[in-house]
Amino acid sequence: MQAARLHEYTDDMSEALSIDEVDRPSPGGPDGVVVEVEGAGWCQTDNHIIEGMWTDYVPQELPLTLGHENAGTVAATGDEVTLVSEGDPVICHPVQTCGTCRPCRLGEDMYCEDSAFNGLTHDGGFAEYLQTSERAVIPLPDGVDPTDIAPHADAGITAYHAVKKAVDELNPGDHALVIGIGGLGHIGLQCLDAMSAATITAVDLKDEALDLATDLGAHHTVNSADEDVTAVVEDLTDETGAQQVLDFVGADATTGLAPDIVAAGGDHHVIGYGGHVHEPAQALVNGEFSFRGTLVGRYAELQELVALVDQGEVELRTSRYDLGDINTVAERLEHGEIEGRAVVTPP
């Protein structure tokens, strides 16, 4: 089968991955599942993997097939699999978990002590077929297209996971700020609108992204290229700040806003990454606000997100690309030229 593989780390996205002929995977065990990939979302994390940013955090052995946002049709199963059968449409949680360690027993999939992360530590879905496990697949409702929903396997549940934490701290009348209305941010904004009664303000550098934010439920928008975000937030919140900030950019410039825009006792959720947090300890003490990280999401949260999609509460803005155009996707995302989410479709 064909697979897009990373052979060496590089900053040059134009030749980042090569299309190789590799063996089609088998289930690999009694609980294994092989999925014929119909859609695999391209993520900013894929660019970071190519650059080698993850080598200090997880073990990686090259060459590696990337792709951690996968959906398709079950092609084969192990002898003990009962949740799905051949021909079933599924979306794949990116992490295959052991199910027996303490984090797994607590439902904390991302903390599993013996996990495999497709496209990060193990071969992913930029290929014709993907090997995963029964614990990682979620059957799709009738009428939900695997190609369209694929990016929810990471972008969707990462945004949903952050929003779910934020919603627990939001009351009617509170203000929430969404920074970055891109591939993750446009999902998070919709989840926030569906799950809370907060007033939502969207922040982005591009008017097109802010127009999308308005279409998706934002009450106010701020173009940070020519407006002072702090001043606008102060004006909108009577100088109290936003109770919850969802930062889908995670750059120095956006995390640096926190002391000036987060309400006392509120949270600045760091979802996008690539920047740093450089704030005086006194700023956190004075405002008693918190920075909160976001690492994908739980299996159960992906089930919940699929339900929101099925109910028409959340839609993805996607563009499709052939597997052979994969480096074009990498380049376009690197230059901020993709609106919404890119989906790679294997042959």
Domain with CATH 3.40.50.720 in the chain: 159-293
**Predicted local confidence at residue 194, as pLDDT:** 96
At the fourth CATH level, which superfamily is domain 2-154+296-345?
A: Medium-chain alcohol dehydrogenases, catalytic domain (3.90.180.10)
Looking at residue 336, what is its pLDDT? 84
- Tokens 């690197």 belong to 334
Residue with tokens 């308005």: 214
163 vs 296: CA distance, rounded Å: 12
Task: Taking the CA atoms of 329, 332, 335 and 341 in sequence, report the sign of the dihedral they define.
Answer: negative
Four-residue CA torsion sign, 251, 256, 258, 261: negative
- pTM, entire model: 0.92
May I ask the CATH architecture of the domain 159-293? 3-Layer(aba) Sandwich (3.40)
Whether omega for the bond prior to residue 59 falls within 30 degrees of 0, making it cis, is no
Of the candidates 150, 131, 40, the one whose C-alpha atom is nearest the C-alpha of residue 90 is 150
Q: What pLDDT was estimated at residue 347? A: 86
Instruction: Give the whole-angstrom CA distance, residue 17 versus residue 330.
Output: 9
The boundaries of every CATH 3.90.180.10 domain in the chain are 2-154+296-345
What DSSP character marks residue 23? Answer: P
* Distance of alpha carbon 188 from alpha carbon 174, whole angstroms: 17
In angstroms, rounded to a whole number, what is the distance separating the alpha carbons of residues 19 and 3? 5
Sorted by sequence, the CB contacts under 8 Å of residue 8 that are 6+ apart come out as 62
Q: What is the largest CA-CA distance in the chain?
A: 61
Low-confidence ranges of the chain (pLDDT < 70): none
pLDDT of residue 339: 79
Asked if residues 338 and 318 have their Cβ atoms less than 8 Å apart, the reply is no
Give CA separation, 41 vs 55, 104, 266, in Å. 22, 26, 32
What is the reported pLDDT for 180? 96
